[in-house]
Amino acid sequence: MRYFIKTLTALIAASVASAAIAQTYPAGLIDKTIAVVGNEMISISQLEQELMYMRMSGMYSDKNMRCEQLERMLESKLFLMQARVDSLEVNQEMVASSLDQRMAQIRTNFGGDAEVEKFYGKPIYKLRQEWQQQLEDMTLTQQMQSQIASSIPELTPQDVKEYIKDTAPEDLPVVPIKYQLSQICIYPDREAAEMAVKEKLLSIRERIINGEKFSTLARIYSEDLGSARKGGELGMASKSIFWPAFSDAAMSLKPGVISQIVETPDGFHIIEVLDKKGDMFNARHILIKPSYSDADRQKAFKTLDSLKTEIQNKSLSFSLAAKFFSQDAQSKTNGGQMADPNTGSSYFEIDQLKPQDYAAIKDLKEGEISAPVESKDNEGRDGNTVYKIIRVDKIIPAHTASFDKDYSSLLEEAKAKKQNEAIDEFIDSKIKSTYIIIDPIFKDCDFSREGWNKIVRQDAAATEAAKSEDNK
């Protein structure tokens, strides 16, 4: 269970569906304090605001999310109180980035500042102030969690052995199959393909200028299928969610003016801005991606086949072939060896591989080379076409983690267990030593920590006793 060691983004991005929020309030209840943790308070409006933001994020849960979110907020207050006692400083850079993300998402969802202000009943500057404070508190909470987690002693090999001993074999982590791979890549003739795309877009642009509807041509030609169905319209959205080149072009256009061709990692676009509000805009676009002929494919496959034959005949080494013939800048300088662009690791699990790459090597043994395959690179949202052959350098079969083979993985698991135990101990201790009240309206919540359940039920019992006394 690694639920506490999280990034701030994860803390603010967890979300639920409105249908899943089963906890209800008494009729006519508008707002009130529903919990007190030391000198920190939680109100209905704060809880509902978090749930509202979560719903807009689009994820789902079948749990009682009011109860679940309240428990998260209660726990956060314990960390927040300790953070202030310890005089931890807020990471303002992280807060600013997270606030910008939140504002961009909310503006995009509602369609602009005016709609946001109407929905919340507050001006934007006031919402920013409130959300900034929330995010500052979240940052302190995260820092406090990290501080507690980092306080555990450095683990030794003996600690790892104890972790293995104390863990049931079926509960030990399973290390998935991993591959170490090398590749030789050839790109199709991009120049010719891009020229063809540009000529097509220029022709479409001229037709629009001459009176044809942008929306009609977007439905026919655009390769952005989501917006094409809506006549190319993207909807009012923050410029921050688009590629910079796209945003810059859109923000520089006057409504009704058709842009020149704009290149992004997704392909080539022409854009028409419909409306602009501050750093938001609503635009139509037509996206066309370079496409390649069978002749391009056959030419590349022939070259790759020839290289594969020379390598198998040992007249040419794979690393030398990669150095002189591969067009992938990252791998060719390392003998063709592939590396994860996010981690730098040369080992890949199945879900880290392009589907086309895995299909090409899944039945190969160590040392074998795939047939030429059409795949995608790491550029753009969908990647760009590339042709390649792949050699399987090494296969590490899936297995239960062992001390000898997977020490580093087991060390991380043992460390995570110790960290979570330390955090659990902190929370349980603080619940016992902190002044806490939880409103009886949450007495039916099944909190994960018994300490919360005891408090809310004691408060409910006290409330009932007071009512009974008043009736006398």
Mean pLDDT of 65-86: 92
- What pLDDT does 60 receive? 57
Place of tokens 């009240």: 437
| Residue 468 confidence class, pLDDT cut points 50, 70, 90 | low
User: Pairing state of beta strands 262-264 and 267-277?
Assistant: antiparallel
CB–CB of 287/246 below 8 Å? no
Largest CA distance in the chain: 101
Q: Which CATH number fits domain 8-154+413-471: 1.10.101, 1.10.3470, 1.20.120, 1.10.4030?
A: 1.10.4030
CB–CB of 135/80 below 8 Å? no
In this structure, the dihedral spanned by the alpha carbons of residues 318, 323, 329 and 334, taken in order and rounded to 10 degrees, is 60
3-state SS assignment for residue 397: coil
CA distance 454 to 449: 9
Q: What percent of the chain has pLDDT over 70?
A: 90
Q: Among 113-127, 195-209, 278-292, 301-315, where is mean pLDDT lowest?
A: 113-127
Q: Does domain 191-288 have CATH number 3.20.20.70?
A: no
Domains 178-188+293-400 and 191-288 share a fold: yes
- What pLDDT does 26 receive? 63
Which sequence spans correspond to the domains of the chain? 8-154+413-471, 178-188+293-400, 191-288
- What pLDDT does 62 receive? 56
- What pLDDT does 71 receive? 93
| Residue 55 confidence class, pLDDT cut points 50, 70, 90 | confident
CB–CB of 144/86 below 8 Å? yes
| Residue 190 confidence class, pLDDT cut points 50, 70, 90 | confident
Place of tokens 């863990």: 167
| Residue 280 confidence class, pLDDT cut points 50, 70, 90 | confident
Mean pLDDT of 363-371: 96
The CATH topology of domain 178-188+293-400 is Chitinase A; domain 3 (3.10.50)
Query: Is pLDDT of 417 > 90?
Result: yes
| Mean of per-residue pLDDT scores for the chain | 87
Which residue from 317, 341, 321 is spatially nearest to 332, judged by alpha carbons?
321
In this structure, the dihedral spanned by the alpha carbons of residues 28, 31, 35 and 41, taken in order and rounded to 10 degrees, is -170
Instruction: Please report, as a single letter, which amino acid is at residue 7.
Output: T
268-274: long-range contacts (C-beta < 8 A, 24 or more apart)?
A: 268/194, 268/197, 268/198, 268/201, 269/201, 270/201, 270/204, 270/205, 270/208, 271/246, 272/208, 272/214, 272/232, 274/233
Give me the DSSP letters along 17-60. -GGG------TT----EEEEETTEEEEHHHHHHHHHHHHHHT--
Query: Is pLDDT of 9 > 60?
Result: no
| Residue 344 confidence class, pLDDT cut points 50, 70, 90 | confident
Query: Is pLDDT of 52 > 90?
Result: no
| Residue 335 confidence class, pLDDT cut points 50, 70, 90 | very high
Write out the two tokens for 377. 């690179």
Tens-digit pLDDT profile for residues 142-187: 999 999 999 999 999 999 999 999 999 999 999 999 999 999 999 9
CB–CB of 287/266 below 8 Å? yes
What's this model's pTM, rounded to 2 decimal places? 0.65
Mean pLDDT of 302-308: 96
CA distance 55 to 48: 10
- What pLDDT does 131 receive? 86
